[in-house]
A and B are shown apart, each in its own frame.
Chain A
Amino acid sequence: MYIEAINLSKKYGNFYAIKNLNLKAEGGKCLGLLGPNGAGKTTTLKLFTNLLRPTSGEVIINGYSVQKDVKNALKDVGTLIETPNFYPYLTPIEILSMMCDIRGASRKNIKNALKETKLYQWRHAKVGKFSKGMKQRLAMAVALVTNPSILILDEPTSGMDPQGMAEIRNIIKNLKKDGKLIFMSSHLLPEITEVCDEVAMIDKGKLILHTSIERVSSMFISHSVIVELLEEVDNIDDLKEIKYVKDIIKINPYKLRIEFSGNAKEQYEILSSIIAKGYKVISYKNETLALEKAYLKLIGGDKNE
């Protein structure tokens, strides 16, 4: 079970939406495609699902070229691209039945898919009256209903309320546990860190990084912590003497930003020293998410920092 982009390019006039993308994901895992708006995430997923045709290169799914043999390539792939619209006069049950019929799959999973996406009580309502969030839930149900081994999901939580987003993320996590291969795009960093095992970062149509979430975090570990104290601090010179501390900035009388050298061990030793000096620490955490920092560094978004 694998998906692969080989030298994939998509050009509009003189503009490359995707340029020479080489990317492979294999086995039960979740690969997150991360990038800012306009980076080429949706274009990539559309090329994977035959909605767009590549200028050069090809997409291979389980050994079949999407461009040359779409029926075999997509036969075990569930898709959610953008927020699809549905035929307004059909009900969710009919929409899911249509999907099962087209794919030659059994309809036995329809009830589960509707329950999992919290649409069961709306199963007989006309889809034309659905909100964007409900359509997104139905789109997720469509991707799940035939129980495919591979799922290609384009910003699956788009247009949903926080509760809905959490529910969809839980569904994806459960799918991962079931050994499915999930290829999802998102511009939400916490979503990628929470759900995915690997991240592929793209910007301006080019792949700039593809590695595991753990590795990317260690590659770009943050070297500053924010310390919150119970009592006001007048003099920070005392704290500057602590080993590994490079600089301290007083954000306010109760909040400090400490820059240090080293890694997690040194970070722990600094905390121990602060407490040993009698400071009452109520919070001690990395200034920003490591992945966010890495992401901004890679796409050049940290220039103003």
Chain B
Amino acid sequence: MNDLAQLSIISKYQFKNYIRSKRLLTLVLITVGIGIAYILSIHFYVNTSYMDVKMFAKNWVSPLSYLVALASLFFGGDAIAGEYQNKTGYFLLPNPIKRESVLWGKYFASFLASTLVILIYWTFVILNVYYYYNTLPVSIWYSFGLSFLFLLSLLALTYLFSSLLNNGTVAIVIVSILYFLVLPVVDSMSMFIGYPPWFSINHSASILTLVFQGNYIGDYPTKQVINLGPGFNITIFNPSLSESITVMIGYFVVSAILATIIFHYKEMK
């Protein structure tokens, strides 16, 4: 049986697991909840006639990076580590199947489930923007595409930690700390020390909303020094479109290679 067929079988059962365990349903409900909350807030508290369409769309897109992070953790955090923690690996791994097919089959299922969630959110965004403005700015399609590139890279990073660790919960906690605490702290520190946090995936993910700024894509300062008092400057760094794409692709490639190598040699002790 060829590797691709085995990969698709692993994907199929992993996706079935997401459905049966209600993980997918939970995240879909969270997404729908966020969407409805936004719609109601806009309806009752925002006068859209005083707001530019791009600014309106930007506000809708701002929670998207958190949703992508949540989807990565939900579907990727314990995908590999769980096989070791729950001993399901004793069923799955001693078979005529390459570890690479197992890893990429699971990754594909995670990407598919996350894509479904992100698409539901984008449906809210696009319909609501169109409802109020009867037009869709070009930036929205940039942000749309970049959100999936961000998902691809963050999911690969999550799989790297899942391959590295034997405990699914620990893998989820570590990626959460990294994404929601360590990298935001690094981004903040960079403002004080004046060194651009180009290596941070959080920093790159800010491109999802930056594309809505200015008159055209990339019409914003990549470095802005603000004087807050005598001897006290802060520097705001914004990634360029090409820089963001490069860093996200870099995260995907490096994480995917490392995760594949680690899982290939990982033992079931």
Contact = CB atoms under 8 A, between A and B. Distances in A.
Interface in A9-59: 46, 49-53
A70 B91 CA distance: 15
Contact of A101 (B9, B86, B98): B9
Interface stretch (B113-121, B189-197, B261-269): B261-269
A51 B268 contact: yes
A276 interface: no
B135 interface: no
B89 to A, nearest CB: 8
Nearest to A88: B21
Contacts of B6: 102
Contacts of A215: none
Band of interface residues on A: 35 or more
Contacts of A246: none
Nearest to B19: A89
A84 B93 CA distance: 11
Interface in B1-39: 1, 5-6, 9-10, 13, 16-17, 20-21
Contacts of B9: 98, 101-102
Interface stretch (A71-79, A179-187, A252-260): A71-79
A103 interface: yes
A262 to B, nearest CB: 48
Interface string B79-93: 000000011111101
A74 B96 contact: yes
Contacts, number: 84
A103 B90 CA distance: 16
A103 B2 CA distance: 10
A299 B97 CA distance: 38
A287 B91 CA distance: 42
Interface residues of B, number: 26
Given A73-B96, A82-B87, A89 B13 contact: no
Contacts of B94: 49-51, 74, 79, 81, 152
Contact of B21 (A49, A75, A89, A104): A89
A139 B21 contact: no
A52 B91 contact: no
Contacts of B5: 104
B90 A75 contact: no
B269 A52 contact: yes
Given A84-B87, A85-B87, A85-B88, A79 B95 contact: yes
B91 A139 contact: yes
B86 A50 contact: no
Given A84-B91, A86-B88, A103-B96, A53 B21 contact: no
A87 interface: yes
Contacts of A51: 89-90, 93-94, 267-268
Contacts of A72: 96
A85 B96 contact: no
Contact of A50 (B1, B88, B93): B93
Interface in B219-269: 265, 267-269
A102 B91 contact: no
Contact of B97 (A86, A94, A102): A102
**Which of A85, A86, A103 has the most chain B CB atoms inside 10 A of its CB?**
A85
Nearest to A95: B91
A125 interface: no
B17 A89 contact: yes
A101 B11 CA distance: 12
Contacts of A103: 1, 95-96
Contacts of B95: 74, 79, 99, 102-103
A89 B20 contact: yes
5 contacts: A70-B96, A70-B98, A85-B86, A94-B16, A102-B96
Given A51-B90, A71-B97, 19 more contacts: A51-B94, A51-B267, A70-B97, A74-B94, A82-B87, A84-B88, A84-B89, A84-B90, A84-B91, A86-B88, A87-B13, A89-B20, A94-B16, A98-B9, A102-B6, A102-B95, A103-B1, A104-B5, A142-B91
Interface of B: 1, 5-6, 9-10, 13, 16-17, 20-21, 86-91, 93-98, 265, 267-269
| 6 pairs of A and B residues whose beta carbons are closest in the complex | A104-B1, A89-B20, A84-B90, A49-B94, A51-B268, A84-B91
Interface of A: 46, 49-53, 70-75, 77, 79, 81-90, 94-95, 98-99, 101-104, 139, 142, 152
